[in-house]
């Protein structure tokens, strides 16, 4: 049996703290920058939302299959699937930021794309907008929360701290799965309003 490498885990924990702060701050800062509004001649990357929604869906599938793999004691498959899920999340994040840096924001229910919800648009979407915003807000908040959970869970696995890995994985898995699935739901709910 492999020995738990606590020194390596402590070293990684410092990076986890840094990344758990830097990633959300960088995404928030970059999200607020629109290259076109700053005068850069870039094409809006309007083809990206279905791509990163598909990546979210694929991540959800990877997570479920990885859970099945570990329940069946297929550790190598589980490890490979989890690494792939992490890379999918990184690719998603890059594409998400790229889209928002090159495209105007889309407002849920904005049928005429004027950036405002008039009375008729509000009536058309009714209480669906409250469901959409609940899903969106919980998706965003949990996507921030899940970053340190994923990183800690991964580090505990690669440092062979398996008992602690299992404990935190029971928390990480449902949060990460929720974020992946709601990413797809948010896309399908807002996609009729893309220009």
Residues 80-125: tens digit of each pLDDT: 999 999 999 999 999 999 998 998 888 999 999 888 889 999 999 9
Tokens of 122: 């509000």
Angstrom distance (rounded) from CA 93 to CA 179: 12
Q: Which domains does the chain have, with CATH numbers?
A: 6-26+47-110+118-193 (1.20.120)
Distance from the Cα of residue 106 to its chain's centroid = 18
In this predicted structure, the answer to whether residue 1 has a pLDDT above a threshold of 70 is no
pTM, two decimals, is 0.89
For residue 49, report the phi and psi dihedrals to the nearest 5 degrees: -55, -45
**Cα distance between residue 164 and residue 160, in whole Å:** 9
CA 163 – CA 122 distance, rounded (Å): 51
Residue 59 and residue 180: Cα distance in Å, rounded? 6
Candidate from 44-48, 91-95, 171-175 with smallest mean pLDDT: 44-48
Measured CA to CA, the distance from residue 104 to residue 106 in angstroms comes to 6
Distance CA 4, CA 7 (A): 9
Return the closest-CA partner of residue 59 out of 137, 135, 136, 143: 143
């Amino acid at each position: 049996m492999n020995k738990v490498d606590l020194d390596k885990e402590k070293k990684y924990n410092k990076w986890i703290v840094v990344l758990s702060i830097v990633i959300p701050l960088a995404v928030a800062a970059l999200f607020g920058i629109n290259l076109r509004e700053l005068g850069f001649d870039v094409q809006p990357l309007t083809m990206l939302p279905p791509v990163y929604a598909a990546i979210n869906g694929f991540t959800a599938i990877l997570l479920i299959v990885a859970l099945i793999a570990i329940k069946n004691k297929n550790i190598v498959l589980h490890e490979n699937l989890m690494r792939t899920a992490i890379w999918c999340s990184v690719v998603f994040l890059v594409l998400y930021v790229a889209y928002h840096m090159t495209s105007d924001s889309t407002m849920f229910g904005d049928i005429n794309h004027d950036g405002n919800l008039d009375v008729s648009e509000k009536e058309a979407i009714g209480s669906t907008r409250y469901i959409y915003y609940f899903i969106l807000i919980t998706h965003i908040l949990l996507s921030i929360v899940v970053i340190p959970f994923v990183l800690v869970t991964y580090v505990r696995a690669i440092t062979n701290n398996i008992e602690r890995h299992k404990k935190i994985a029971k928390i990480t898995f449902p949060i990460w799965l929720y974020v992946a699935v709601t990413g797809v739901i948010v896309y399908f709910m807002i996609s009729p309003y893309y220009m």
